[in-house]
Structure 1
Amino acid sequence: MSPMATISELRPAAIDVAVGFTLPGRHARGRLVRLGPVLGEILSAHAYPAPIARLLGEALVLAGLLGAMLKDADGQLTLQAQTEAGIVDLLVCDYKGGELRGYVRFDADRLAAAPRPTLADLFGKGYLAITFDQAATGERYQGIVPLEGGSLAEAAQHYFAQSEQIPSFVRLAVDDSGHVAGGLLVQHLPEGEEGRDRLHTRLDHPEWDHVRILAETVRDGELTDAELPLETLLWRLFHEEEEVRVLGAVGLSRGCRCNAEHIRSVLSRFSAEERATMADADGMIAVDCEFCSRAFPVAIGDLAD
């Protein structure tokens, strides 16, 4: 991540990027994300109906907001919705090194019966699992909260309130075309946060109320305006603050990590007997990637014993 800068020093950044910032005088930090071509690439792998494409767009933005907070450059953030009796059977997105990927599996017949599905329609009695994998230390942290509220953004706020005890504001938006999505995450970091028991963090801290009220003025159209530099939006939201430190911009890209070499390596871990049961009559094992909708045929004879 580039060194901290003032807003005036931040290079213009409008699309497929995450920008971090802090408000030192208010003990707050945040991220802005906007996706365009990257979103289009990910959605193009599947012919998603509009409500599902919008949901995946919001989830990818959320993955970008959370993943860009990782200090470990090789770390990974995984966001997964575990559902029960909902239209969506599975939603999973992840972030690693600025690369995003995502996939939704859903019941098309149930979606057709609910053309404007609510969060409850989509997920039923569902749970949101957010997992942080730190490559440098090998540590893994996971938080799980019910998918409650009227939107994925509200569910994410519940996650931070319950799992992290950090007052947070999340806004996610997808434009009418479905091809541009954006989001804002702002969090309160109370005085003495380092080494402090977060269970005692006040959710009604006056500084946080002030920051939250400013953040709530963000409009969906601002988050999805590909011509509006994110530093300009930051200035509009927080220009009256004593100081806004910008942590730099992280470029975002589509990053499905499937390839023939990796798949052969995974299949080689199975026994010869197990591989034989996977193969067809011609001795080929067909492996499909749900993320990019590509098929990888692998011949048993190409696998090491």
Structure 2
Amino acid sequence: MADQSETRCDQPLRFSIPALNARGRLVRLDAVLNDVLSAHAYPPAVEKILAEGLVLTALLGTTLKEREGQLTIQAQTENGPLSLLVTDYIDGAVRGYAQFDLAKLAEVPSDPNLFALFGKGYLAVTFDRPLPEAQGGGRYQGIVPLEGANLSEAAMQYFDQSEQIPTFIRIAIDHVDGRCVAGGILVQHLPDGEEGRERIEARGEHPDWEHVRILSESIKPVELADPALPLEEIAWRLFHEEQEVRIVEGQPMTKGCRCDPHHIRDVIARFPATERTEMADERGDIVVNCEFCSRTFPISLASLSN
């Protein structure tokens, strides 16, 4: 069993229940999650909320059908201990970072809710689809108040208010052998199953959805974050009494910071020489910081003049 689970961490599982017009995603992040978290020395409360954000991003990002599609989740406020949390997904790669005030963070409870961490803020979910507008492409963004005990509850409010898609999300965080492991489940009701019709037609009181929601809510947090429990087994435990459950393995996930020294240099080279001089430090370097991976890229003025 342990060998099977190793292949399932950092690899999402897609499932659908055609007879009940439901679709879902299961994901468990382990090595990828710790790779992202290791770029910064986050306090425990920040590490936990960022881990939740990365799992949520993986769950929602895997609903994109186009490889070049991108999902970005941003939680932001002006007066909370945690001022900004950003995560995104593109083609199986996730990345994220958080900005916080350490002094304010020291005053929050040991297990803070969203309000304790952010104060009054908002959650923005942005889908970028590389298709013509006539085919549903372009950028779509929904913004909702940052409310609820955790990001999962805030995201469910987003789907209720912005998408009108009945949605259940649960995410669990644990520590196993000194590393952070996080798992999550996303289940949605669509009128015509996996493809759906117009989003506005999905109704939360539909009897099929009520049945699926009750089954989904029986999942235990310890099951989601247990690296020894294969995701297929979770799907079987929840829905084995249904007539048909279709399961498809997703592509393995990776840490997805996209900072590239050559690209950064090319971008800076487009600025006028006078502006480049103003951006340079006393050594004649323009230093670019990547918040996601906590790396700096010094670009010398001399190299730009060649």
Give the structure-1-normalised TM-score.
0.92
Partner in structure 2 of residue 169 of structure 1: 168
**Alpha-carbon distance, 1:303 to partner:** 2.4
**Partner residue of 1:104?**
98
Task: State the SS of the aligned residue for 2:250.
Answer: strand
Alignment of 1:18-33 (within 5 A): 18-33=12-27
Comparing 208-217 with 244-253, greater Cα deviation is found at: 244-253
Compared CA separation, residues 135 and 302, structure 1 to 2 (3 A): farther
Q: Which runs of 5+ in 2 are unaligned?
A: none
Q: CA deviation at 1:248?
A: 2.2
Q: Which residue in the other structure is 2:121 paired with?
A: 126
Aligned partners of 2:198, 2:180: CA distance in 1, in Å?
Answer: 42
Instruction: Determine if contact 2:191/2:201 at 8 Å carries over to the other structure.
Output: no
Q: Which amino acid aligns with 1:183?
A: G
- C-alpha change, 1:165 and 1:101, in structure 2 (3 Å) is same
2: CA distance, partners of 1:95 / 1:256 = 10
Could you tell me how far apart the structure 2 residues matched to 1:165 and 1:277 are?
49
Counterpart residue identity of residue 40, structure 1: N
What residue identity is the alignment partner of 1:290? E
Shift of 1:256: 0.6
How far apart, CA to CA, are the structure 2 residues paired with 1:294 and 1:105?
A: 15
Q: Relative to 1, partners in 2 of residues 1:119 and 1:282: Cα closer, same or farther, differing over 3 Å?
A: same
Tell me the secondary structure at the aligned position of residue 150 of structure 1.
coil
**Amino acid across the alignment from 2:114:** L
Structure 1 residue runs of 5 or longer lacking an equivalent are 1-9
CA distance in 1, matches of 2:232, 2:7: 7
- Paired residues for 1:41-80 under 5 Å: 41-80=35-74
Alignment match, 2:207: 206
How does 1:245-264 map onto structure 2 within 5 Å?
245-264=246-265
- Count of matched residue pairs: 296
Residue 60 of structure 1: SS of its match in structure 2?
helix
Rounded to whole Å, the distance in 2 between the matches of 1:298 and 1:244 is 53
Q: CA deviation at 1:296?
A: 0.6
Provide the residue aligned with 1:215 in structure 2. Answer: 216
What's 1:135 paired with? Answer: 130
Cα distance in structure 1, aligned partners of 2:151 and 2:5:
30
Aligned-partner Cα distance in 1 for 2:76–2:44: 21
Query: 1:248-279 CA deviation, whole Å, 9 max, x = no partner?
Result: 22211111111211111221232211111110
Q: In 1, Cα distance between the equivalents of 2:193 and 2:91?
A: 30
Does the CA-based 8 Å contact 1:74-1:136 persist in structure 2? no
- The equivalences for 1:80-99 within 5 A come to 80-99=74-93
Partner of 1:4: none
Q: What SS does the corresponding residue of 2:296 show, helix, strand or coil?
A: strand
Question: RMSD of the alignment, in Å?
Answer: 2.0
- The CA deviation string for residues 104-130 of structure 1, in whole angstroms up to 9 with x for no partner, is 000110110114222101121111111
Alignment check: 8 A CA contact 1:14 1:227 kept: no
Q: Percent identity?
A: 56
Q: Partners of 2:5 and 2:101 in 1: how far apart?
A: 43
* Greater Cα shift, 142-151 or 172-181: 172-181
Distance in 2 between residues matched to 1:40 and 1:84, nearest whole Å: 28
- Alpha-carbon offset, residue 84 of structure 1: 3.0
Give the letter aligned to residue 145 of structure 2. Answer: P
Provide the rounded CA distance (Å) in 2 between the counterparts of 1:276 and 1:291: 26
Partner of residue 191, structure 2: 190
Alpha-carbon distance change, 66 to 193 in structure 1, aligned in 2, over 3 angstroms: closer
- CA displacement at 1:134 relative to structure 2: 1.5
Matching residue of 1:17: 11
3-state SS, counterpart of residue 236 of structure 1: helix
Judge conservation of contact 1:12–1:231 (CA < 8 Å) in 2. no
Partners of 2:186 and 2:295 lie apart in 1 by 33
What's the counterpart of residue 303 of structure 2? Answer: 302
CA distances 1:160-214 after superposition (whole Å, capped 9, x unpaired): 0111000000001101456100100000012499785433432111110100000
Change (3 A) 1:199 1:193: farther
**Residue in 2 aligned with 1:292?**
293
TM-score by length of 2: 0.92
Partners of 2:190 and 2:273 in 1: how far apart? 54
CA contact (8 A) 1:132 1:140 kept: yes
SS in 2 for 1:180: strand
Distance 2:193 2:17 in 1: 15
